[in-house]
Amino acid sequence: MRTKVAIIGAGPAGLLLGQLLHKSGIDNVILERQTPDYVLGRIRAGLLEEGTVALLDEVGAGARAHREGLVHHGVELAFGGARHRIDMKAATGKTVMIYGQTEVTLDLMNARRAAGLTAVYEAADVQPHDFDTDHPRVTYAKDGVTHEIACDFIAGCDGFHGVSRASVKPSAIETFERVYPFGWLGILSETPPVSQELIYTNHARGFSLCTMRSMHRSRYYLQCPLDDHIDQWPDERFWDELKRRLDQKAVDNLVAGPSIEKSIAPLRSFVTEPMRFGRMFLAGDAAHIVPPTGAKGLNLAASDVHYLAAALREYYAGKSSAGIDGYSAKALARVWKAVRFSWWMTSILHRFPDTEGFGARIQLAELDYLVNSKAATASLSENYVGLPY
């Protein structure tokens, strides 16, 4: 088989790239290791920047998000026993949309199917080859038969544990990493959210976040020790602990219910440089990971593939390589700003081993400054709603 762009991974990055390329008449094939149901079963953050929604619209996959997504104009920061609203719309003119990553993935899958495009699920042993030559290839096995795809370019959209980054020789790649000494315990429940907007809480017992998927489905997170196991967190314990970290008004409004999903995720910042290796590009989690604080992961995947699709469009339209030559630097400039922002939000909201006395006072001073200074509020807001592409 031959295609212009072989895309490895059918998460949001791979699926969105596939649709953007298709819209420009650039044929592509997606190879995914898992089944569609497995991909849709992964619960991740659910907050879209306006730029991400615009990209879904651009590929004709945004209609359901506009119907079902919740548009938020602000968020609340809670500390020192009180809640403070940040009006992001007033500060930036922009909003964010609450719409689950699972729904984004489903809408993109449906758009791909409707366009009659190839996505090979349960592709085993996917392997990129010869991307440092003009004739890259990808091999994979399906139902025990080995296949080969000859292509012009390979897009590694295969997440943090994917094969694309792992196929680059170590001397060609530099990585930067910060691992945080705690995790996020998350639950999903069929209950109305505690508040109209998200509540991020800095508390002596640890961070908490009240978020939602809809007006009848809530998502809550608690900072927890990294080595905790979900068995240690029966629902009752989760709700009790959440209540301890919330203000009285929130406690009074909180509707507890059985969890329909519960998981613990570690927090990590990770960046790969560069994001291009000859005729292979990395995009999304394959190239970088951010802690979930601020929900930048999916939005960064979207801006990466926007830059990459534009670069490939330019290449195929005018045979100019300037776009693909500039892809890595352009994507990384935005990536590092989001990495900085999510690291910073993580650092002001969580309990670290050395957050006692001095460290805790510094966090409170910073939060107080954030909610009371117009300049600080504007800076938080413009990063939260998403920096321009």
Instruction: Give ∠ CA 122-123-125 in degrees, rounded to 5.
Output: 130
> Of 220 and 327, which CB lies nearer to ligand PHB in the complex structure?
220
Q: Smallest distance from the beta carbon of 44 to ligand PHB, in angstroms?
A: 7
Subset of 35-64 contacting ligand APR (CB under 6 A): 39, 44-45
Query: In b/e form, how buried is each residue of 99-110, taking b as 16+ CB within 10 angstroms?
Result: bbbbbbbbbbbe
- Cα-based distances in Å from 57 to 107, 108, 318: 11, 11, 26
Under the binding rule (CB under 6 A), the answer on residue 183 touching ligand APR is: no
**Cross-strand bridge partners of residue 49:** 96
**Catalytic site residue from 12, 136, 193, 292:** 292
DSSP letter for each residue of 288-309: EE--STT--HHHHHHHHHHHHH
**Catalytic site residue from 203, 296, 330, 350:** 296
Stretch that binds ligand APR, among 144-152, 296-304, 336-344, 378-386 (CB under 6 A): 296-304
> Of 46 and 162, which CB lies nearer to ligand PHB in the complex structure?
46
Residue 204 has which token pair? 């002596």
292 is catalytic: yes
Contact 351, 313 (CB under 8 A): no
374 is catalytic: no
From the list ligand APR, ligand PHB, none, partner contacted by residue 185 (C-beta under 5 to 8 A by kind)? none
Stretch that binds ligand APR, among 237-245, 247-255, 265-273, 282-290 (CB under 6 A): 282-290
Measure the CA–CA gap between 191 and 132, rounded to whole angstroms.
52
**Catalytic site residue from 99, 140, 180, 200:** 200
Single-letter residue type at 155: A
Binding mask 200-239 for ligand APR (x = CB under 6 A): ----------------------------------------
Measure the CA–CA gap between 235 and 144, rounded to whole angstroms.
43
Instruction: Give ∠ CA 223-228-231 in degrees, rounded to 5.
Output: 115
Under the binding rule (CB under 6 A), the answer on residue 254 touching ligand APR is: no
> Of 193 and 291, which CB lies nearer to ligand APR in the complex structure?
291
User: Which residues here bind ligand PHB, judged by CB under 6 A?
Assistant: 45-47, 198, 211, 219, 292-295
Q: Give the distance, in angstroms, between the CA of residue 287 and the centroid of all CA atoms in the same chain.
A: 12
Under the binding rule (CB under 6 A), the answer on residue 103 touching ligand APR is: no
From the list ligand PHB, ligand APR, none, partner contacted by residue 303 (C-beta under 5 to 8 A by kind)? none
Task: List Cβ neighbours of 65 (8 Å cut-off, separation of 6 or more).
Answer: 48, 53, 56, 97, 99, 103, 104, 107
Q: Smallest distance from the beta carbon of 203 to ligand APR, in angstroms?
A: 24
Binding-site residue total for ligand APR (CB under 6 A)? Answer: 29
Q: Smallest distance from the beta carbon of 200 to ligand APR, in angstroms?
A: 18
DSSP at 172: G
Contact 258, 158 (CB under 8 A): no
> Of 200 and 239, which CB lies nearer to ligand APR in the complex structure?
200
From the list ligand APR, ligand PHB, none, partner contacted by residue 126 (C-beta under 5 to 8 A by kind)? ligand APR
Residues in the chain: 389
| Cα distance between the two ends of the chain | 34
* Residues with catalytic roles: 72, 200, 292, 296, 384
